[in-house]
A = this chain, B = another copy of it.
Amino acid sequence: MSVYVVGHKIPDSDSICGAIALAYLKNQIGEPSIAARLGDLSPETAFILEKFGFEAPEFKTSYAGEEVFIVDHSELTQAPDDIAEATIVGIVDHHKLGDLTTSTPLECWIRPVGCSNTIIKMMYDFHGVAIPKDIAGIMMCAILSDTVIFKSPTCTTADIKCVEALAEIAGIEDFKELGMDMFKVKSAVEGTPARDLVMRDFKDFNMNGNKIGIGQLEVIDLSVFDDIKAELEADISALKAEGERHSVILLLTDIMKEGSELLVITDDAGLIERAYGIACENDRVWLDGVLSRKKQIVPQLQDALA
């Protein structure tokens, strides 16, 4: 029986590239595995897979009765809906420890680094398996994406060394240029419906019983949002009502200015000030230096809701 290797809902490049890279490794060490995905590819991920010649992993949303290796999260809200009926045989992740549990022993490779693919590289090294050139390429891109080309505070020495090693295997001379090409693809938001933009990198969290949705759009220049900000706000307001969420936050991240504007719709008017020390004005607030949802948004919000 094959193990399905699958990332989170609304997959990002780390979830997709990680599933492909880990499934390859598992097959090499005699554990039949199939890379899968829970949703559509983002334009960035499509760009990466095309560049290195990969097809999208199998689209599969139901895993009842299957064995599953989870990539890039450990949260029920981000896992397949029927994960309770599957057997989780492993988790590779770089976030806080979520509420997934199992009834049998498993392998968890969780590290406080910038990207799951950095940990998957450690798994290749542990098993002594050589990384093929094309797989090194997609792993490298996933790390450049998650670490915002090393600018994110989540970026660690391990991530940088890993990118350098993978770039050499992949034969990429200027990986920072490739990283900027990726973020240019990400910045092309014109003509895309508001809902598609909001959902492009959107995660739900359970914070002390409150369902909190947090989306993030990382671009090279925030001015691309000037004409559509009101539309985005209308959409996250709708999203809050549809999903019976306590709050929805959309981070508009400027990777060159290195900060994020938050668009906030919440039941709790004091939430943002309690979490970040600055109050919203007209449901918007600029947080200087904030690039990372995982490290600079989620824990503070969780504490404010504890």
Interface band, chain A: 20 to 34
Work out how many copies of this chain go into the complex. Answer: 2
Q: Is A109 engaged at the interface, CB distance under 8 Å to the other chain?
A: yes
Residues of B within 8 A of A188 (CB): none
Quick check: B96 and A302 within 8 Å, CB to CB? no
> What 1/0 flags go to A120-139 for Cβ under 8 Å of B?
00100010000000000000
Residues of B within 8 A of A243 (CB): none
Residues of B within 8 A of A91 (CB): 97, 108
Q: Is A103 engaged at the interface, CB distance under 8 Å to the other chain?
A: yes
9 contacts between A and B (CB under 8 A): A91-B97, A94-B105, A96-B101, A98-B101, A103-B299, A104-B295, A105-B110, A107-B112, A126-B126
Residues of B within 8 A of A97 (CB): 74, 88, 91, 100-102, 106, 108
Residue of A89, A103, A295 with highest tally of chain B CB at under 10 A: A103
Quick check: B102 and A96 within 8 Å, CB to CB? yes
Q: Is A95 engaged at the interface, CB distance under 8 Å to the other chain?
A: yes
Q: How far is the CB of A145 from chain B (nearest CB, A)?
A: 17
Quick check: B109 and A295 within 8 Å, CB to CB? no
Q: Is A294 engaged at the interface, CB distance under 8 Å to the other chain?
A: yes
Additional 6 contacts, C-beta under 8 A, given A96-B104, A97-B106: A96-B105, A103-B303, A105-B154, A105-B295, A106-B112, A108-B109
Q: Is A111 engaged at the interface, CB distance under 8 Å to the other chain?
A: yes
Residue of A97, A102, A295 with highest tally of chain B CB at under 10 A: A97
Residues of B within 8 A of A231 (CB): none
Q: Is A99 engaged at the interface, CB distance under 8 Å to the other chain?
A: yes
> What 1/0 flags go to A266-297 for Cβ under 8 Å of B?
00000000000000000000000000001100
